[in-house]
Structure 1
Amino acid sequence: MPPTPISLPDGAVILSLTSPGFDAAYPRVVNKGLIPPDVLEPMEWAWTTRRFPERPVRVLRLTDVWVAKEGLVFDRDGTLYRETITQHSAGEVEQARAAVLEAIGRGGPVAEPDAGGPVLLCKKRGIGNYGHWLMEMLPKAQLVHRHLPELGARFLVAHAPGQLNDTMAFSLSMLGIDLARTIVADDTPRRFADLLLVDGLSEHGGYMSPLVLDSAEAMAGRVPAAGVEQLFVTRRSTGFRRVVGEDDLIALAQSRGYAPVDPGALTLPQQVSLFKGARRIVGVMGAAMTNIAFAPPGARVVTLAPAGMPDTFFWFIATLRGLDYAEVRCLQSGPVRGVMPWDTDLVLSARDRERIFAD
């Protein structure tokens, strides 16, 4: 049986910030009855929380540790730090531990630690998802870059698929971070003499700190608003989780003054610019809708969501940003085209097609 994971040591904390408390309102959910009870239950916990109290956000400095998989951190003996388990399964954790123990056992030059100075871990579960990067990994880079510049930290990021690599580079540059100071890593265990960790910014599905918006605001400050006030966000480039009869829906959106946009086909600065000026945004729930983090407070956001998709991520963003948020739950149709059971086509009723664009 593997050893019990250990907690990050309090003595390793080098900076502690207070994440402000915030109030939250239950979202407007259309067709809530379509949501299966086992999907609704975990979302209800967050949705019914009226006040998220202030809490600490810590930066810790660890000596001689291993990083494996999507940000799992082990001490020099191969014992896992509990706080770095972010949606990893027990099997994935054990695979990572076995790989670390094998690397420790090899010894020699292969196992020598990186000793080039402090490295900040900007890698967690969900490395292939734009939303996870923008709201859960990039904010860590912004926090250390802003509050601990004297460390001259480097930044450990994942090797992400496709265009996301360019997006990650764009975002770091927009924060003023020199890309020469990044280390791109795959799942292979790597040993570091000096590793920085940020703990407490988010718990996927259960909490998001207001401090995560610091990076979004810094990026938005670098580009002008595009001047488009109404956006209809499509998923054409993604190829799944799309509305049945989307062409007709786009035509309807255009007749109501909405500009169709496929963020997956745009550069990051173009996406930031478009959403920065948008006052009304409608789109299918997915990574591209993370861009509502750049929208002005008070903007109206409607997400079209599969009935069986458990998600509070976009509600948290809207709450922190002060957006007028609603989601329309849709029947699911056809085969699963992505990796999750809710990655099907969506059926939007004629009535819902009208009201998502109504005042």
Structure 2
Amino acid sequence: MVNGVEPQMGVEVIFAEDIGYNAITIKNNGFRNKKPNVFNEHLIPDKVRRAMSTGWDSNEILGKDIRIIELHDVIVGEQGLVIDSNFRVIKETITQHSSLEIEGFINRARNFNHIEYVQGSFINLRKRGEQNYGHWLIECLPKINYLSHINKDLKVLVPDVSSQMNLVIETSLRTSCSSPNLMIMKMGKSEIKRFQKLVIIDGLTHHGTYMAPQVVQFNSQLRESVAGAGPKKVLLLRDSPHRRISNIDHLSSSLKKLGFSAITPGKLNLKEQISALKNADTVIGVMGAEMTNIVYADKYANILNIAPASMPDTFFHFISVHKEHSYNEYRCETEGVEKNRNNSMSVDVGHICDIVMGMSL
């Protein structure tokens, strides 16, 4: 094990400070944690439950320092992974990348006949999972807030993904950045570029175990820039073939009788999603990108996150901790013999309605 990463043949892992200049370190206090209220917790496999132990069971989450580090002459690819001119991997840029992904990227970089050289200074807003709405809004975008700590004229490096997500990225950057002349460079997953200067921000999140309060505070500021036009009680519908509720029509009609409005966030632009959730005091949905929008709901809102029993995730729990939500998870088995966490789920509609009525008391 090298710096917490399993070594592969020809792969060397180094810390950013080994080759870069630590411009700023911001001390960050820990925060109080609160275990979610979990329905059907007995269905969660032991291995999955252990994976969530730190996020769910710790009364206090220790703070991580936020470090702003400037790197010179580095190569970027594979969803924000950074290597130096000697093909050594910068540890802080490894974000859920597998060893095979890391090794593959290094081999491709070594074998490229010509890697485009990009002049100027850029802030790296890329990471593993960057194509996901939730990863972008919570783990990538808030780093833009630290431009004022270094150089307001810094350019930004972002992913080039689907047209819909590219619009979210563009809108969120323009809405949250005070500079009207912000220069945005897009990179596709398979692209490799060499940068004269690259700034990385480390310490805001570590997927699964840590989320700094600043990322939620940042999105709360984004929330204030949009007028609320949504209902108080919201059911978020998935616009994805994965993790669907097979009896969603029954659930929707039953919740409608309790005053809920059904919204499909995937069919709305970013500002419309924020607006639709801004006035919400109760939100129900399936664990997935759509539920990231709870960050735009009311402080102290009631949240019910319907999740596969086998899905080890604390992402939405941490958002709710920082928003001081009443956060609940409804765990259920997925359909199919293999119990894949992306399969559909059939929920007990009566039980969910009873939970909702109890949350409203």
Provide the residue aligned with 1:208 in structure 2: 211
CA shift in 2, pair 1:308/1:191, >3 Å: same
Cα contact 1:123–1:156 (8 A) shared by 2: yes
SS in 1 for 2:295: helix
> Which amino acid letter does the alignment assign opposite residue 55 of structure 2?
A
What does residue 84 of structure 2 align with?
A: 75
Distance 1:179 1:215, change over 3 A: farther
Q: Tell me the secondary structure at the aligned position of residue 88 of structure 2.
A: coil
5+ residue gaps, structure 2? 1-8
CA drift of 1:83 comes to: 1.5
2:158 paired residue number: 157
Q: 1:185 aligns with which of 187, 203, 227?
A: 187
Contact persistence 1:142–1:214 (CA under 8 A): no
Q: How many Å separate the matches in 1 of 2:83 and 2:180?
A: 28
Partner of 1:129: 132
Query: In the alignment, residue 21 of structure 2 is paired with which amino acid?
Result: A
Which residue does the alignment assign to 1:358? 357
In 2: Cα distance, 1:332 partner to 1:66 partner: 41
Cα offset for 1:100?
Answer: 1.5
* Match of residue 231 from structure 1: 234
Q: CA deviation at 1:129?
A: 0.7
Distance in 2 separating the partners of 1:355 and 1:102: 60
Q: Give 2:313's aligned residue.
A: 311
SS of residue paired to 2:65: strand
2:56 matched residue in structure 1: 47
Q: 1:261 and 2:267 equivalent? A: no
Q: Does 2:17 correspond to 1:9?
A: yes
Q: Is the 8 A contact 2:67 2:201 kept in 1?
A: yes
Identity %: 32
Distance in 2 between residues matched to 1:219 and 1:335, nearest whole Å: 43
How big is each residue's C-alpha offset from its partner over 1:51-110, in whole Å with a ceiling of 9 and x where there is no partner?
A: 11233101100010000111110011111111211111111001100111123xx3xxx3
State whether residues 335 and 344 of structure 1, in contact with CA within 8 Å, keep that contact through their aligned partners in structure 2.
no
Q: CA deviation at 1:178?
A: 4.4
Structure 1's unaligned 5+ residue stretches are none
**CA distance 1:2–1:289, shift in 2 (3 Å):** same
Q: Structure 1 residue 179: deviation in Å?
A: 7.1
Tell me the distance in 1 between the aligned counterparts of 2:320 and 2:181. 30
**69-78 or 177-186: bigger deviation:** 177-186
Residue 350 of structure 1: how far off its partner (Å): 4.0
The aligned counterpart of 1:102 is: 111
TM-score (norm 2): 0.92
In structure 2, what is the equivalent of residue 166 of structure 1? 167
1:281/1:300 contact within 8 Å kept: yes
- Summarize deviations over 1:305-339 as a string: whole Å, max 9, x none: 01111100000100011111000001211489xxx
Amino acid at match of 1:211: Q
* 1:126-184 deviation digits (Å, cap 9, x = unpaired): 0221000010000112222x433x34111101111241111111111111354750000
Q: Quote the Cα distance in structure 1 between the aligned partners of 2:106 and 2:278.
A: 43
Secondary structure (helix, strand or coil) at the match of 1:320 reads: helix
Say if 2:125 and 2:157, in contact at 8 Å, map to a contact too: yes
Code of the residue aligned with 2:250 in structure 1: it is D
Aligned partner of 2:348 in structure 1 is 349
142, 145, 167: which is aligned to 2:145?
Answer: 142
Q: Which amino acid aligns with 2:352?
A: R
Using the TM superposition, name which of 28-37 and 344-353 deviates more: 344-353
Aligned to 1:114: 118
> What is the aligned partner in structure 2 of residue 246 from structure 1?
248
How far off its partner does 1:46 sit?
A: 1.7
Query: How well do the aligned residues superpose, as a CA RMSD in angstroms?
Result: 1.8
Give the aligned length: 347
- The answer to whether the 8 Å contact 1:305/1:328 transfers is yes
**Equivalents in 2 of 1:239, 1:285: separation in Å?**
13
Tell whether the 8 Å contact from 2:44 to 2:309 is kept in structure 1 after alignment. Answer: yes
Whether 1:18 and 2:58 are equivalent positions in the alignment is: no
2-structure distance, mates of 1:356, 1:143: 41
CA distance 1:230–1:179, change in 2 (3 Å): farther
For residues 208 and 179 of structure 1, what CA distance do their matches in structure 2 show?
A: 30
Partner of residue 95, structure 2: 86
Structure 1 match to 2:4: none
